[in-house]
Amino acid sequence: MGEGPLGEVKRAVVLLSGQGSNLQALLDATADAAFGVTVALVVSDRPEAGGLDRARRAGVPVAVVRPGDHADRDAFDATLRAVVAAARPDVVCLAGFMRILGSEFVRSFPDRILNTHPSLLPAFPGAHAVRDALAYGTRVTGCTVHLVDEQVDHGPVLFQAAVEVADGDDEASLHERIKREEHRLLPLAVRLVAHGQVRVDGRRVRIPAGADGRGVERGGQ
């Protein structure tokens, strides 16, 4: 495998439950060897997840870990941890994974798990962020790419992008525009975390200047 400008090619494991458009954005980015990250494994809790087909089409190994095959949440979490760890990830990416990870899982990959969420956190956490923003009548929402800690939709923020709510929006149309921003930001975040370019200082995340393509260092010194 070739080497990109950031050196050695790093390994990403992606967890998903749905159609996998964010996985696709990442796969598209990895097609350029200079990106320096390969998707080593895609894991889903749902065998019918469309994202698994995207992975298969790209020749990426897949695994299904079903909660229903396990006695309880701890057992599910333990299998998930083992499956992910076996792929030796430099970064673990939650891309529409609709399960809450157990503490043990989170502690197994410290500051190396990323999530993308379709709102400007801390507004509208939870499974219905786009619907909730519309119901609230907010004029601006967006997406947040953040590190995962032991609380839901809570860890330190790497990137956010704002998306205006249009008068005629329904959940699908608004989510579609939010996803466009997620597709832009998630691959950037995956690359940074995989290559150890992210410094976490409490809730503040420092990333190299220009890493989001806008030439601004978040957090400063």
Interface ranges with ligand GRF (CB under 6 A):
16, 18-22, 51, 95-96, 116-118, 179, 182
Per annotation, catalytic residue among 117, 175, 183, 195: 117
For the range 130-134, what are the long-range contacts, defined as Cβ-Cβ under 8 Å and sequence gap of 24 or more? 130/171, 130/174, 130/175, 130/178, 131/171, 133/165, 133/174, 134/165, 134/169, 134/170, 134/171, 134/174
Question: Among this protein's residues, is 117 annotated catalytic?
Answer: yes
Q: Considering beta carbons, is residue 9 or 143 the nearer one to ligand GRF?
A: 143
**In the complex, minimum distance from the CB of residue 116 to ligand GRF, in angstroms, rounded to a whole number:** 4
Q: Cβ(156)–Cβ(200) under 8 Å?
A: yes
Least distance in angstroms from the C-beta of 84 to ligand GRF: 18
DSSP 156-193: PEEEEEEEEPPTT--HHHHHHHHHHHHHHHHHHHHHHH
Complex with ligand GRF: residue 8 or 176, whichever CB lies closer: 176
How far apart are CB 161 and ligand GRF at their closest, in Å? 12
Q: How far is residue 217's CA from residue 135's CA, in Å, rounded to a whole number?
A: 34
Q: Which residue is nearest to ligand GRF (CB)?
A: 96
Instruction: Give CA–CA dist 139/123, Å, rounded.
Output: 13
Q: Are 188 and 194 in contact (CB under 8 A)?
A: no
Are 26 and 184 spatial neighbours (Cβ–Cβ below 8 Å)?
A: no
Min dist. Cβ of residue 140 to ligand GRF (A): 17
With H, G, I as helix, E, B as strand and everything else as coil, classify residue 39.
strand
CB closer to ligand GRF, 9 vs 169: 169
Q: Given the complex with ligand GRF, which of 108 and 115 has the nearer CB atom?
A: 115
Residues with a known catalytic role: 117
